[in-house]
Structures are given as structure tokens and as C-alpha cells.
Structure 1
Amino acid sequence: MTGSDIELREWCADDAPVVLRAFQAPDMASQASWPIVSLKDATGWIASWAGVGHAFAVTLSGRVVGNVAVTGIDGHGNGWVSYWTVPEARGRGVAVVAMIELTRWAFRERDLYRLELGHRTNNPASCRVATKAGFRPEGIERQKLRYDGRRYDVERHARLATD
């Protein structure tokens, strides 16, 4: 998969240092299922994708700068999308291109029909990625997430194969 100098590829164990560095960013620290504080944790994060969905390393000019994934694929042709980029790649359209490529792949290769995602309402950058990648807002899920004892509203977006 490719879009200009942005490509998606399978994760490999050698990518663990990038994963570790990414999850050291303050806004990413609580985004993994467990704290990523060592190379062993980062290698485990990469390995944890096996059998639960499809995760791709996002590369920019050959350097890993993020992740896009489809999980929660059900019998109705629906999947849940997630994405992140390292801080130095943000604001450059990398996540948007990666999401567009992931969406094309999911509709073409996995024959999915509907892709969904959610972002905290206090994260306008994630909302911009979603909308620029063609994911339409569908509503607010009130106080859905809890981080550090605080509840957050989530805006749900979706994209259909027919959009």
C-alpha cells in the first residue's frame, strides 16, 4: 500500500524502538492496553496484533511514524479503525493519507462495508484526520471513556464502502 512517500507495511519486531518512543509522548501514554515503558512492552504491543485484526506501520520516506489498524471485524462487514502518529509527524497529513490507504485496503481486500472510529471530543486534531479521510460524524457518546479518573465524551464517525 502506498500514497506518495507514505506507505503502510506489516509491523516487525525491529520497530519496537519506535513504538516505545511513540508511547512515551504524554498524549499517548494511556492509549495502549498496558503501559509501554520498555522495549519488551513495545515488542509485546507489536505481537499483540496477531489474530485480532490488521495493524500496519505507517512509514514516511521509509521511517516508521505511526500506526493504522482495523479490529473488531464482525459478520456484518463492519470494522473498528484506530490510528496514531509520532509527534514529529503530526500536522503534515500523514495520518490522513494513511487512513485513506487503510480504508481502501479494508474495503477492497477484506470486503468490509462499514468502518467506524471514535475520538475524544477534546481532540480536534483526531477529528480533522477522521473527516479528511472521509469519515462522517454520527454523534456523541457521552462520557464513554475514563482516563486518570476523568470521563470524556467521544464523537463517533463512520465511512461506508459506498461513500
Structure 2
Amino acid sequence: MTRTLSTPSAIPSGFLATSPQPALPATGGLLLRPWEPADAPAFLSAYQDHEIHRWHTRRPATETQVREWFDAYRQDWEREKGGHWAITRDDGQVLGRIALRGLDFDDGIAGAAYWVLPAARGAGVASRALTALTAWALDEIGFHRLQLDHSTRNHASCRVATKSGYLLEGTKRSAAVHDDGRHDMHLHARIRGD
């Protein structure tokens, strides 16, 4: 069924898919770039980390599965459903992951998600990456609103969101399942012009 809008889409369909997924520079010598097959070992090791494991119930079990995820990430870009980047240093070392998911071109809304490897924590890597991705999505692509959520127990993620200018809008009660049961989730958002 074709849906007719009474207002124009915030972002025209096909706007992203006609170009390759970009690499995005971030302050402090960071680069956000599309995942490469050679990144599979680093990606898999991230999900062995206690903190990343704690907040993610969907976890890859093998490098083959990771490469399947990377293929799905490329398809997300081509279908304009999402964008997934490795957070790296200039030398290519993987420090973390950042993504835009659930792209809604009609309303100009997307969701952000991120994690950082243990060796890169406490150095502002996640907040610098989120700030760079946010500026690109709002200013260059034309999204109006970016939002993210995290467990109310995940204080580090809350600090990253707040430091990156994402205002806390409220708590979604019992909104996500983690290994230890249901969690309330904080909802943060950044609006173009904030």
C-alpha cells in the first residue's frame, strides 16, 4: 500500500543510498568508518567484555556471524534503514561502535547507539564519536531529531548522552529486557538547533 503524506518528507528517499557510506572525522584523531571484514575479531571480542555483554542481549558468537552482521549493516545503508560505523583511531585501531538506526525520512527521526571497548573508556571516545555523528546527521543529512535510550542502570551511557547534548526526556518503564530481567530505560534526544 502506498502511503500519501500531507507534508513533504523531511529527507527525500534515496538521499543516502545514492552515495557510499561516508567516513566521518571526529575530534581527537578519531574516525568513524564503515565496518570492514578485518574488524571481525575486535568486534567479537567486544561482546566478551562484561560491560558490553551486560547491556546487549543480541550478541554474535563467532567471527563468521560478525561478518554476517557486517553484511546486514551494508544492506541497512543501501536500504536506508541504518548506518553502522567502527570508531577508530587514525591508525585504524577499533575503539568502539556507533550507529544510526530506525531511520524515518518522513519525520526526520533516527536513533543512535554506541559502545566502546574497555581500553578506550574514560577518554571521551564515545562522546566525541556521538557528537560527530550527530552533527553529520542533523546538519548535513537533515534529520530533525536524534534519540537514544539506555538502561537507567547504565550510568556511563547516560554521561555520554548528556555530554553530547542529548537532553534527558524521561523514563520508559520496563522498556527493555537484559540478561537480569526488564529494565527501565532513559530516553534522551537532540533536536536540530539545540
TM-score category of the 2 structures, normalised to the smaller one: over 0.9
CA RMSD in angstroms comes to 1.4
- Of 118, 141, 144, 2:149 maps to 118
2:84 maps to which residue? Answer: 55
TM-score (norm 1): 0.93
* Alignment partner, residue 63 of structure 2: 39
Q: 1:65 aligns with which of 58, 80, 95?
A: 95
Q: Which runs of 5+ in 2 are unaligned?
A: 1-23
**What aligned pairs does 1:1-163 form with structure 2 within 5 A after superposition?**
1-2=24-25, 3-29=27-53, 31=56, 33=58, 35-49=59-73, 50-51=75-76, 52-62=81-91, 63-74=93-104, 75-148=106-179, 150-163=181-194
Equivalent residue letter for 2:99: A
TM-superposed deviation, 1:41: 1.5
Moved over 6 A (4+): none
Q: Is the partner of 1:73 in helix, strand or coil?
A: strand
> How many residues align structurally?
162
| Residue identity opposite 2:97 in structure 1 | N
Inter-partner Cα distance in structure 2 for 1:102 and 1:58: 11
Percent identity, aligned pairs only?
36
> SS of the counterpart of 2:103?
coil
Q: Give the TM-score, by structure 2 length.
A: 0.79
In terms of fraction of residues, the more strand-rich structure is 1
Q: Which amino acid aligns with 1:76?
A: D
